[in-house]
Amino acid sequence: MVNNRFLNCRGKLVSLEKPLIMGILNVTPDSFFDGDRYSDEKSWLERTGKMLDEGADIIDVGCVSTRPGAKAVDEKEEIKKVVFVLDSLAAHFPDAIISIDTYRAAVAHEAVHAGAAIINDISGGTMDPDMYQTIAYLRVPYILMHISGTPETMQQNPVYQNVTKEIINFFAEKSSQLRHMGINDIIIDPGFGFGKTPEHNMQLLREIHLFRFLPHPLLIGISRKSMIWKTLKCTPAEALNGTTVLHTLACLNNAAIIRVHDVKEAQECLTLVNKIYPASTSGDTLPA
C-alpha cells in the first residue's frame, strides 16, 4: 500500500489518492515516438496547453533523448535548452507542475532554480554520483527509476535472474539511502524498456502488484513502448489501444502516476477505472 499520499511540489501539496497523469513533452529531435514534433517554442507551447486542457497533472520535459541507442548530449547544451524551455513554460503556464527528465545533477540544480518542481532521473542516481546530494539540497520530489546500463547500451543484452525481485531490491536499497539523506518525496519507476527485453517488461507488469509493498508511490511509463507494438506487430503510432489496455492494468494495481503521450485517452481510462473501482486507485481494494 502507498504510504505517501501527497507530493510537495514547490509548496503545493499534490494528492496521490487517485492516479495522476504526467504528460510527456519531448523537445528533442530524436525521441522514439514524437521526435522533432515539439523542438521549437511555438509547438511545445501548443503541446503543453493541449495536455493541460486535457487533464495532465504534471508536464514532464525532456531535453535529451533517452531512447534505446541514444548518445549522450553535452551537459552545457542540455542546461541551456532546459532553462530556455522552463522560462518559456513559466511565462505561459505559471501554475503548471513541471518535471525535468534528466540524469545529471547540474541540470537538476539549474532546472529547479528555473521553476521545475520534480526531478525525473532515468538512472536512479547511477549515472551521476552527485545526484542524491543535489536532490537533498533542492528538496524536491525525486523519481527514482531503474535502468540497466545507459540509453546507448541498455538494450544490447539485458540479463536478470528474476527481474521483478532484482528491481524491488534495487528500490529498497536506493530509497533507504535517499531517506537517510533526508529525501522523503520519492516516486519509484520500474523503467519499462530501459535495459529490459519485452519478456522482462511483461513479467514486471504481470507482477506489478508486488511493488505496493514498497513505501513509495509507483510511476508507470509504458506509453507506446516496444513491449506493446512489438507484441501487437504494429508501429508506435498504432500502439495507442494497447497502451490504454496496459494503463488500465497498471492503475488497477496501485500505479500512482502514469506517464503518457496521449493525455485525453489516459484521462478517459482513469475516469472509467475510478468509476468502477473507486478504492482500487489508492491501493486499498483491488478487483478479484
Buried b (16+ CB within 10 A) or exposed e, 67-79: bbebeeeeeeebb
Q: Which amino acid would we find at residue 99?
A: S
Of 50, 165, 225, 264, the active-site residue reads 225
CB 85 within 8 A of CB 115: no
Distance between CA atoms of residues 254 and 148, nearest Å: 24
Of 50, 259, 264, 275, the active-site residue reads 259
What cell was used for 194?
530501459
- Could you give the 3-state DSSP secondary structure of residue 12? strand
Q: Residue 45 contacts by C-beta under 8 Å, 6 or more apart in sequence?
A: 88, 89, 92
Instruction: Tell me how far apart the terminal alpha carbons of the chain are, to the nearest angstrom.
Output: 17
* Pick from 231, 279, 245, 240: nearest CA to 263: 240
Catalytic site includes residue 67: no
Residue 58, H or E segment? strand 58-62
Catalytic site includes residue 225: yes
Q: Annotated active-site positions, please?
A: 225, 259
